[in-house]
Amino acid sequence: MFWQEEIEVISREELQRIQLYSLQETIRRLYYNVPFYNQKFRDVNLKPDDIKSLEDIQRLPFTTRDDLRENYPYGLLAVPREKIVRLHTSSGTTGKPKAIFFTKKDIDQSAELIARCLIMTGVKSDDILQNMMTYGLFTGALVMHYGAEKVGILVIPAGPGNTERQIALMQDFGSTCLHLTPSYALYLAEVMDSKGIVPQRDLSLRRAYLGAEPYSEETRIKLENMLGIDIYNSYGLSEMNGPGVAFECKYKDGMHIWEDNFLIEVLDPDTDEPVPEGQEGEIVLTTLKREGMPLLRYRTKDIAKIIPDTCRCGRTHKRISRIFGRVDDMFIVRGVNIFPQQIERVLMGIKGVAQNYQIHLEAYDKMTVKVEIEQDFFDGNIEKLLALKSRITEKLKSEILVTPQVELLEPGTLPISEGKAQRVIDNRNL
Ligand code: DLL
**Cα–ligand 1 centroid distance for 325 (angstroms):** 11
CA dist., res. 111 & res. 101, Å (int): 15
Q: Please report the atom of ligand 1 found closest to the CA of residue 236.
A: 5
Alpha helices per DSSP H over 121-210: 139-151, 163-173, 182-194, 199-202
| Ligand 1, atom 27, residue with closest C-alpha | 237
CB atoms near residue 326 (< 10 Å): 17
Taking CA atoms, 333 is separated from 165, 356, 390, 398, in Å, by 41, 22, 20, 14
CA dist., res. 189 & res. 194, Å (int): 9
414 DSSP 8-state letter: S
**Cα–ligand 1 centroid distance for 194 (angstroms):** 29
- Element containing residue 152 per DSSP (H, E): none
Q: Read off φ and ψ for residue 325, nearest 5 degrees.
A: 165, -175
Out of 143, 302, 322, mutate this one to test ligand 1's pocket (max ligand atoms within 8 Å of CB): namely 302
Cis peptide before 73 (omega within 30 of 0): yes
**Cα–ligand 1 centroid distance for 216 (angstroms):** 14
Specify the pLDDT at position 93: 56
Give per-residue pLDDT as tens, 346-395.
999 999 999 999 999 998 889 999 999 999 999 999 999 999 999 999 99
**Cα–ligand 1 centroid distance for 246 (angstroms):** 10
CA dist., res. 142 & res. 21, Å (int): 30
For residues 254 and 247, is the Cβ–Cβ distance under 8 A? Answer: no
Nearest to 302 by CA among 285, 278, 316: 285
CA dist., res. 296 & res. 95, Å (int): 22
For residues 342 and 369, is the Cβ–Cβ distance under 8 A? Answer: no
Give per-residue pLDDT as tens, 275-332.
999 999 999 999 999 999 999 999 999 999 999 999 999 999 999 999 999 998 999 9
| Ligand 1, atom 4, residue with closest C-alpha | 140
**Cα–ligand 1 centroid distance for 378 (angstroms):** 36
Q: Please report the atom of ligand 1 found closest to the CA of residue 133.
A: 6
Nearest to 407 by CA among 371, 380, 363, 383: 371
Which of left, alpha, beta for 178 (phi over 0: left; psi -120 to 50: alpha)? beta
| Ligand 1, atom 31, residue with closest C-alpha | 213
Question: If 0-12 CB within 10 Å is exposed, 13-18 middle and 19+ buried, where does residue 233 land?
Answer: buried
Out of 64, 213, 329, mutate this one to test ligand 1's pocket (max ligand atoms within 8 Å of CB): namely 213
Specify the pLDDT at position 94: 60
| Ligand 1, atom 12, residue with closest C-alpha | 237
Beta bridge partners of 33: none
Question: If 0-12 CB within 10 Å is exposed, 13-18 middle and 19+ buried, where does residue 201 land?
Answer: exposed
In the chain, the domains with their CATH numbers are 1-328 (3.40.50.12780), 331-426 (3.30.300.30)
Specify the pLDDT at position 364: 84
Q: Please report the atom of ligand 1 found closest to the CA of residue 239.
A: 11
List Cβ neighbours of 80 (8 Å cut-off, separation of 6 or more): none
Q: Please report the atom of ligand 1 found closest to the CA of residue 246.
A: 26
CA dist., res. 232 & res. 248, Å (int): 6
**Cα–ligand 1 centroid distance for 86 (angstroms):** 19
Give per-residue pLDDT as tens, 196-208.
999 999 999 999 9
Which residue pairs from 221-230 have beta carbons closer than 8 angstroms and sit at least 24 positions apart in sequence? 221/348, 222/186, 222/348, 223/182, 223/185, 223/186, 223/189, 226/189, 226/192, 226/193, 226/199, 227/185, 227/189, 227/192, 227/199, 228/198, 228/199, 228/200, 229/178, 229/199, 229/205, 230/121, 230/206
28 DSSP 8-state letter: H
Side-chain half-sphere exposure of 105, counting CA atoms within 13 A: 9
For residues 285 and 300, is the Cβ–Cβ distance under 8 A? Answer: yes
0.75 surpassed by pTM: yes
| Ligand 1, atom 6, residue with closest C-alpha | 140
| Ligand 1, atom 28, residue with closest C-alpha | 214
Specify the pLDDT at position 307: 98
**Cα–ligand 1 centroid distance for 120 (angstroms):** 19
**Cα–ligand 1 centroid distance for 234 (angstroms):** 8
Beta strands in 53-119 (DSSP E): 84-90, 98-103
**Cα–ligand 1 centroid distance for 160 (angstroms):** 16
Q: At what angle do helices 139-151 and 104-120 cross, to 10 degrees?
A: 70
| Ligand 1, atom 29, residue with closest C-alpha | 237
| Ligand 1, atom 9, residue with closest C-alpha | 237
**Cα–ligand 1 centroid distance for 257 (angstroms):** 14
Name every protein residue with a CB atom under 6 angstroms from any ligand 1 atom.
90, 133, 139-140, 211-214, 233-238, 242-243, 300, 302, 323, 326
pLDDT in tens, the chain (430 residues): 899 999 999 999 999 999 999 999 999 999 999 999 999 999 999 999 999 999 999 999 999 999 999 999 999 999 999 999 999 998 765 668 899 999 999 999 999 999 999 999 999 999 999 999 999 999 999 999 999 999 999 999 999 999 999 999 999 999 999 999 999 999 999 999 999 999 999 999 999 999 999 999 999 999 999 999 999 999 999 999 999 999 999 999 999 999 999 999 999 999 999 999 999 999 999 999 999 999 999 999 999 999 999 999 999 999 999 999 999 899 999 989 999 999 999 999 999 999 999 999 998 889 999 999 999 999 999 999 999 999 999 999 999 999 999 999 999 999 998 889 999 999 997 6
